[in-house]
């Protein structure tokens, strides 16, 4: 690629989806890989730093990403990871994982031309690779904005307190954080999501976004609270919806010129109207994704088409 705006760091895998009607589908996925895919479809020149095995699943993941203009930098793995998702009648997913995440600090980090670095989910929480991810983000923060989506997977996190501390350490490194209300309910049982967002904001980020499914999303910044409603849409499944939302947030930052470390002060002073616009764009992108099966985010032309009804 001639240019790279976004470096995404994290897992790429194959989803094995058990649908409520008994069908079983296999498709490439993984939260960071989904974010990279969606950014590629939006024209944002993403690069994905990940791990892949030299196997049929790995080749399928590569083809899937390259079709959407994602540049892949992959450390070797003994086999490509899988995530088995069981969907209920509402389309919500419960996951089981077969994954080893061992990205090394010695892995070559392709940082040239990168103005935003994103990570999240398994890559930021599963040892031993999570420590390397934290080190990479710390180093790249000097030149890039950092975005983070905890996208917690409880099946891989036996120690909730440890997971909470790890998530908070990445929140403190990030400039923009996106979490779902389900993430927050697992990390902080019984707590108010808005109060958690305010608490996270005080640790370092400029903006903290919380998605609430059909209820829409809200964000807190130093200028106040922004909110958008969800879109009325027939939900096929929710796979990849949060990742699409995240990618559209990153796309919006790029489109408004908020990228690179020099934009950090500008992001800290962003107004609620601008944040609302970011949320609206992201909610529209996520609504398109949930209206069709699997992690199938929209291309830019679809996203710029007439907005869906609220």
Kind and range of the H or E run holding 119 = strand 116-120
Confidence of residue 128 (pLDDT cuts 50, 70, 90): very high
Confidence of residue 294 (pLDDT cuts 50, 70, 90): low
Confidence of residue 291 (pLDDT cuts 50, 70, 90): low
- Residues in the chain, overall count: 310
194 Ramachandran zone, left/alpha/beta (phi>0; psi -120 to 50): alpha
Q: Which of 112-116, 183-187, 242-246, 248-252 has the lowest mean pLDDT?
A: 112-116
Helix axes 129-140, 160-173, angle to 10 degrees: 20
Q: What's the Cα-to-Cα distance from 76 to each of 5, 50, 63, 156, rounded to whole Å?
A: 24, 9, 17, 21
Tell me how far apart the alpha carbons of residues 136 and 239 are, in angstroms, rounded to a whole number. Answer: 28
Tell me how far apart the alpha carbons of residues 37 and 31 are, in angstroms, rounded to a whole number. Answer: 10
| Terminal-to-terminal C-alpha distance of the chain | 38
Tell me how far apart the alpha carbons of residues 102 and 124 are, in angstroms, rounded to a whole number. Answer: 11
Tell me what pLDDT residue 89 has: 76
Average pLDDT, the chain: 91
Tell me how far apart the alpha carbons of residues 114 and 7 are, in angstroms, rounded to a whole number. Answer: 6
Q: Which of 144-148, 178-182, 254-258, 297-301 has the lowest mean pLDDT?
A: 297-301
Tell me what pLDDT residue 307 has: 59
Tell me what pLDDT residue 287 has: 85
Q: What is the pTM of this model?
A: 0.92
Q: What is the pLDDT of residues 23-50, one digit of tens each?
A: 888 889 999 999 999 999 999 989 999 9
117 Ramachandran zone, left/alpha/beta (phi>0; psi -120 to 50): beta
Confidence of residue 306 (pLDDT cuts 50, 70, 90): very low
Tell me what pLDDT residue 94 has: 77
pLDDT reading at 57 higher than 80: yes
Tell me how far apart the alpha carbons of residues 97 and 248 are, in angstroms, rounded to a whole number. Answer: 26
Tell me what pLDDT residue 310 has: 47
Q: What is the pLDDT of residues 112-127, one digit of tens each?
A: 889 999 999 999 999 9
The dihedral formed by the CA atoms of 2, 118, 146 and 178, expressed in degrees to the nearest 10: 140
Q: Give percent of the chain above pLDDT 70.
A: 93
Q: In order of start, what are the domains of the chain with their CATH numbers?
A: 6-303 (3.40.1190.20)
Tell me what pLDDT residue 90 has: 74
* Cβ proximity of 60 and 38 under 8 Å: no
């Amino acid at each position: 690629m001639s240019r790279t705006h976004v470096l995404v760091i994290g897992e790429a895998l194959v989803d094995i989806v058990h649908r409520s009607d008994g069908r079983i589908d296999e498709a490439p996925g993984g939260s960071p890989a989904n974010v990279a895919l969606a950014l590629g479809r939006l024209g944002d020149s993403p690069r994905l730093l990940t791990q892949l095995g030299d196997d049929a699943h790995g080749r399928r993941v590569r083809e899937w990403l390259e079709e959407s203009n994602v540049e892949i930098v992959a450390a070797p793995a003994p086999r490509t990871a899988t995530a088995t998702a069981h969907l209920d009648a509402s389309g919500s997913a419960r996951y089981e994982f077969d994954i080893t995440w061992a990205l090394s600090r010695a892995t070559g980090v392709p940082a040239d031309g990168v103005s935003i670095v994103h990570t999240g989910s398994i890559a930021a929480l599963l040892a031993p690779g999570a420590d390397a991810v934290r080190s990479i983000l710390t180093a790249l923060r000097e030149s890039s904005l950092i975005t983070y989506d905890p996208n917690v997977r409880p099946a891989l996190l036996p120690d909730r307190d440890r997971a909470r501390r790890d998530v908070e350490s990445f929140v403190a490194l990030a400039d923009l954080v996106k979490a779902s209300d389900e993430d927050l309910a697992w990390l902080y049982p019984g707590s108010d999501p808005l109060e958690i967002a305010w608490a996270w904001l005080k640790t370092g980020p400029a903006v903290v976004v919380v998605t609430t499914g059909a209820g829409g999303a809200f964000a807190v910044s130093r200028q106040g609270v922004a909110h958008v409603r969800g879109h009325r849409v027939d939900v096929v499944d929710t796979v990849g919806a949060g990742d699409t939302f995240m990618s559209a947030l990153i796309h919006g930052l790029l489109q408004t010129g908020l990228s690179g470390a020099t934009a950090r002060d500008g992001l800290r002073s962003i107004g609620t109207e601008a944040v609302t616009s970011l949320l609206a764009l992201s909610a529209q992108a996520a609504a398109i994704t949930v209206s069709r099966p699997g992690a199938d985010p929209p291309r830019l032309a679809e996203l710029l088409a007439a907005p869906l009804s609220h």
